[in-house]
Amino acid sequence: MIVMPAVRHAAAGAAALLLALPVPAASAAAVAEPTPPARPFVDPARLDRSGSQVQPLRGAPELPSVSALSWLVADAATGEVLAARNAHKQLPPASTLKTLFALTALPHHAPGERHTVRDEELEGIGEGSSMVGVKEGLTYKVSDLWNGVFLSSGNDAVHVLAAMNGGWRSMSKQMQEKARSLGARDTRVVSPDGYDAPGQVSSAYDLAVFARTGLQDPQFTRYCSTAYADFPAGGWSYGIANTNRLLTGADGVARYPGLIGVKNGYTSGAGNTLVVAARHGSRTLVVSVMNPQGGGGFAVYEEARELLDWGFDAWGRVQPVGSLKPAKDLAKAQRPPSPEPVRAPVPATVRASAQGTAQDRVQAKAGPEPGAGVQAAAATGAKPPARDAAPSGGAAGLPLALVGSALGAALSLWLWRRFGARGN
């Protein structure tokens, strides 16, 4: 009979067609990935603008009206600037510059280290400087000298510590390099104690950078938050109090709840300056205020209080207008992550078919190992696979249709030849 060869040829043709068909690609729904949340864009150039900068959201409180020439409110944890006014305006910093001095010199000597003061270390202290009472010939612990710097704003203690760290000029250079490394580009250091000097300037932005960086150092934080301490004077000691009234509540200035401290300052050229940090729950703010134009000598504390209150109230209800992080770090943080190559997952039936095809090709060359399927089944406890088992589900629909069509064509050809030949 002619039907069997025809069927065999039709089946072989159908199998060849199946091998030539492309593997169906995965649907778009199978490879879709969730869109990552948008990162808040922080434009560092916005803080270069003059005037007040703030981006309120719905329900945000209004900025307080303060008279300072320059001020800034920032999140100490993230460095995000919540609001500012003339953030990069260069102004004399007075003793708030001692924050940069501490960042630079603190790591070089242990708190318990002792130092005997020499006469030359107290030379060149500016007239009218604030002093803690360091005396030549006496021996002090380094921690005592730092209490003198932070609590009494003692320029005499600064001079001694600067001498221990390379001298006055070297200290100025070290502080300048430290400021640059932190991205504080407005600061020019001439006198490490903050005493008025030609060309010496800083900004509300830079002071906030110094304070935020200092709060990451336990020693800095301990000194700047100390309200009272004893200062040695040979065979006896006397008490000193921190001149930051928001910390101590002195002179009729109410203490601010949760205040950590940091540093205040005053000179005739700088006016009153202040950089403070306060914590409410898990939130910590840094506020810097430079040279209030009204309200008397204690206005700097009251304006800082208003800005702290506003910052805690506005938390989560304003978009940041800048960052205290260096520009290179900010750019790195805002750079979108490199996209991972998306690989379409191959359906299990296709993977099994591909694996089976590869194995069949190897066996076609070398021949099947006798009893291989039975041995594998015995090892796993499963039944031996049927040699000619057809695939199930949707994957079987296309091959069966092609085979059926081929068989139908072969049968038609056989019938035509058998009965057609008789008719002729």
Q: For the range 391-397, what are the long-range contacts, defined as Cβ-Cβ under 8 Å and sequence gap of 24 or more?
A: 391/349, 391/353, 393/349, 395/349, 395/350, 395/353
Q: DSSP code of 188? A: B
Indicate the SS3 state at residue 154: coil
How far is it, in rounded angstroms, from Cα 312 to Cα 258? 12
Q: Kindly state the tokens that stand for 333.
A: 């943080």
Indicate the SS3 state at residue 56: strand
Indicate the SS3 state at residue 122: helix
Region at 139 (left for phi over 0; alpha for psi -120 to 50; beta for the rest):
beta
- Of the candidates 153, 172, 191, 203, the residue annotated as catalytic is 153
Indicate the SS3 state at residue 186: coil
Q: Kindly state the tokens that stand for 76.
A: 């100490």
What does the DSSP assignment read for 224-275?
Answer: HT--EEEEE-SS-EEEEE-S-HHHH-GGGPPPPTTEEEEEEEEETTTEEEEE
Q: Classify burial at 269, counting beta carbons within 10 Å of its beta carbon; exposed 0-12, middle 13-18, buried 19 or more.
A: middle
Q: Classify burial at 361, counting beta carbons within 10 Å of its beta carbon; exposed 0-12, middle 13-18, buried 19 or more.
A: exposed
Query: Do the Cβ atoms of 206 and 326 come closer than 8 Å?
Result: no
Query: Do the Cβ atoms of 93 and 201 come closer than 8 Å?
Result: yes
- Of the candidates 70, 95, 129, 202, the residue annotated as catalytic is 95
Phi, psi of 351, rounded to the nearest 5 degrees? -60, -45
Q: Is 153 annotated as catalytic?
A: yes
How far is it, in rounded angstroms, from Cα 89 to Cα 49? 10
Query: Do the Cβ atoms of 203 and 186 come closer than 8 Å?
Result: yes
Q: Is 89 annotated as catalytic?
A: no
- Of the candidates 98, 178, 263, 325, the residue annotated as catalytic is 98
Nearest to 78 by CA among 334, 337, 335: 334
User: Which helix (DSSP H) or strand (DSSP E) does residue 221 occupy?
Assistant: helix 218-224
* C-alpha separations of 335 from 22, 43, 155, 338 in Å: 39, 13, 44, 9
Q: Hey, which residues are catalytic here?
A: 95, 98, 153
